[in-house]
Amino acid sequence: MGTNVELRQLRYFVTVAEELHFGRAARRLHMTQPPLSQTILAMEDMLGAALFDRNRRGVALTPAGEALLPEARRLLVQAQQLPELVQKAATGAVGHLSLAFVSSADYSVLPPSLRAYRAAFPHVQITLKEATSDVQLEDLLQGRVDAGLLIPPMPDKAKQELDYMAVLSEPLILASPAGLPELKGVHMATLRELPNLPLIIFPRAISPSLYDSILAVFRSAGITPVIGQEAIQMQTIVSLVSAGMGIALVPQSVSNLRRPGVEYRPLAHNSPTVETGLAWRRDNASPVLRGFLDLMRKRV
């Protein structure tokens, strides 16, 4: 006994169930009654159960028919929605987007980008993963994420398979413990005038360009900092500064992370900029990714 019920059979069944009269159901379906009755009989034989109780008083649903009716209606509605679903999937309006991001992006480009994308594509499911740039590059190369907000540069191996778009450039600023006498009443910080506090910084293996940019600021000021702590997340760096463990140079947007015991100031001398960009696999043809990239290009 097979159970491959066709949508046509389900439509006939629902019509008879709603009319409880084969003649009226046939007229509604623009067909004659005999082929309708034969279709329902074949369907009952296929399912191995009677769907209608036929007697002199009329037609009534059996318990099996009562159980099938809501499911049949649901399947018919879903079938009607298939063309729209396929069209939405083809245009990136539905589907899934997996996005990785460095912690600094959480205080700058990520929230407004997600708000804009959610408004434009409300039916796309988004999975977010906070990860350092090196972890993101590996995830991108292995196809584990669709796109990543990271800090360049990318190694040559990654450049062969990934595309990249700059989305933000911002200066480094000072994050210091609150209440330093040397900074009282000072709007812009001069590194030479700071007390000799340890430097809290990203590990170089995690973000070589950010690490080197920070040390270059100190070198240009004629200072060789003592590295006290290394941390891979901006919120951890700021928390260590808040605890009085040292000072840090962070991207300007991190000043949106408010913590008691931390003060942010721009640097008085020229400060290098830190770039955040979006990377994705060149061969990723996902319409959902294409929609996200189009939105990001407009925002940039």
State residue 67's pLDDT score.
Answer: 93
Residue with tokens 């907000």: 149
Which domains are delineated in the chain? 7-90 (1.10.10.10), 94-167+276-299 (3.40.190.10), 169-273 (3.40.190.10)
- How do beta strands 273-281 and 147-150 pair? antiparallel
Checking if the pLDDT of 117 tops 90, the result is yes
State residue 105's pLDDT score.
Answer: 94
pLDDT digits 0-9 by tens, 60-113 = 999 999 999 999 999 988 888 777 766 766 666 678 999 999 999 999 999 999
Give yes or no for a cis peptide into 171 (omega within 30° of 0): no
Choice among 4-8, 30-34, 151-155, 236-240 with the minimum mean pLDDT: 4-8
State residue 18's pLDDT score.
Answer: 93
Q: How many other CB atoms sit within 10 Å of the CB of residue 97?
A: 20
State residue 93's pLDDT score.
Answer: 66
Of 10, 4, 20, 23, nearest to 70 by C-alpha is 10
The residues that bridge with 218 in the sheet, in sequence order, are: none
pTM: 0.69
pLDDT digits 0-9 by tens, 165-178 = 999 999 999 999 99
Check: CB of residue 237 under 8 Å from CB of residue 250: yes
pLDDT digits 0-9 by tens, 221-278 = 899 999 999 998 999 999 999 999 999 999 999 999 888 999 999 999 878 899 999 9
